[in-house]
């Protein structure tokens, strides 16, 4: 089964996360399929914009448990290669040469919130919940950090990265992570249709150039991306990171909560 579903209709590409049995959590296959889809969409002149969504009651639960289990046995080099793929995904989505809209319902954790931050426009249903939970596992939201900071600012990122507390749609709206909220999934689709109509009125090249302009005003360096990859790889292979991931998989408190 494909981890994502792709539909292109009336100049609009739709990518739907399609791992409902694990709440659309990331693994290496999903990352690869998302990267491939984004590369295809970027070069398809018939596509004018992208909508990112998921099926069912949850948007994205972050990292897949089986994928996390593999990380415990990865070397530093293997972790860097793995993190590089995720970094490429976030960068490809953020720099896509077409407008992007995220439609969010239910929970969005870790990398799932990273996807939202990478999109140009985000709308969430009132029941959505957001969390940067990485530090609870002895890890860091390294790879998604450049995009989250650009979305909600450094000051707010400091709080939510360090506390790993969950926050609701109202707070996400106040932070600037999302642009609008709706009562339910039907409202998400209605709001999306309105945005799509508005975006399709605009020149394709003008939209692409405007996105480049925005990125030039908030530069994202290769050095920064490289730093985030090294940071998460080192944490995954550290004693604390190994303990945090194993404790999460074992559904028990990590050592630092028992000492």
Tens-digit pLDDT profile for residues 143-177: 999 999 999 999 999 999 999 999 999 999 999 99
Which contiguous run of DSSP H or E holds residue 80? Answer: helix 76-94
The Cα–Cα gap between 124 and 252 comes to: 32
135 DSSP 8-state letter:
G
> 188-199 pLDDT, tens per residue?
999 999 999 999
The Cα–Cα gap between 87 and 99 comes to: 20
- How many domains does the chain divide into? 1
Q: Is residue 225 part of a domain?
A: no
Q: Is residue 219 part of a domain?
A: no
- Enclosing domain of residue 85: 4-184
Domain with 154 in it: what CATH number?
3.90.226.10
The Cα–Cα gap between 43 and 13 comes to: 12
Q: Is residue 111 part of a domain?
A: yes
Q: What is the pTM of this model?
A: 0.96
Q: Is residue 204 part of a domain?
A: no
Q: What local confidence, expressed as pLDDT, does residue 1 receive?
A: 77
> 181-224 pLDDT, tens per residue?
999 888 999 999 999 999 999 999 999 999 999 988 888 999 99
Q: Is residue 224 part of a domain?
A: no
Residue 184 CB contacts under 8 Å (≥ 6 apart), including other chains: 105, 125, 126, 127
Q: Is residue 189 part of a domain?
A: no
Q: Where are the alpha helices (DSSP H) in 107-258?
A: 111-118, 145-152, 154-163, 169-175, 185-200, 204-217, 222-237, 239-250
Q: Is residue 259 part of a domain?
A: no
> 27-74 pLDDT, tens per residue?
999 999 999 999 999 999 999 999 999 989 999 999 998 998 998 999
- Report the share of the chain in percent with pLDDT over 70: 100
Q: What local confidence, expressed as pLDDT, does residue 259 receive?
A: 63
Q: What local confidence, expressed as pLDDT, does residue 68 receive?
A: 87
Helices 145-152, 154-163: crossing angle, 10 deg rounding: 130
Q: Is residue 62 part of a domain?
A: yes
Residue owning tokens 């394709």: 204
Q: Answer for the pair 67, 27: CB distance below 8 angstroms, yes or no.
A: yes
């Amino acid at each position: 089964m494909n981890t994502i579903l792709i539909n292109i209709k009336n100049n609009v590409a739709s990518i739907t996360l399609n791992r409902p049995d694990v709440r659309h959590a990331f693994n290496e296959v999903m990352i690869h399929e998302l990267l491939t889809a984004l590369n295809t969409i970027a070069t398809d002149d018939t596509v004018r914009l992208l909508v990112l969504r998921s099926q069912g009651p949850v948007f994205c639960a972050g990292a897949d448990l089986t994928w996390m289990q593999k990380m415990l046995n990865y070397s530093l080099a293997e972790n860097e290669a793995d993190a590089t793929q995720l970094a490429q995904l976030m960068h490809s989505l953020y720099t896509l040469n077409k407008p992007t809209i995220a439609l969010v319902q239910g929970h969005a954790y870790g990398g799932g919130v990273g996807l939202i931050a990478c999109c140009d426009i985000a709308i969430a249903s009132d029941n959505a919940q957001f969390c940067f939970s990485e530090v609870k596992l002895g890890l860091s939201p390294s790879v998604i950090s450049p995009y989250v900071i650009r979305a909600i600012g450094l000051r707010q990122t400091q709080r939510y990265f360090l506390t790993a507390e969950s926050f609701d749609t109202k707070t996400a709206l106040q932070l600037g992570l999302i642009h609008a909220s709706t009562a339910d999934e039907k409202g998400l689709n209605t709001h999306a249709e309105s945005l799509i109509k508005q975006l399709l009125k605009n020149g394709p090249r003008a939209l692409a150039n405007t996105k480049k302009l925005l990125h030039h005003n908030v530069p994202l360096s290769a050095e920064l991306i490289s730093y985030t990859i090294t940071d998460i790889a080192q944490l995954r292979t550290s004693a604390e990171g190994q303990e945090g991931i194993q404790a999460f998989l074992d559904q028990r408190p990590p050592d630092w909560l028992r000492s």
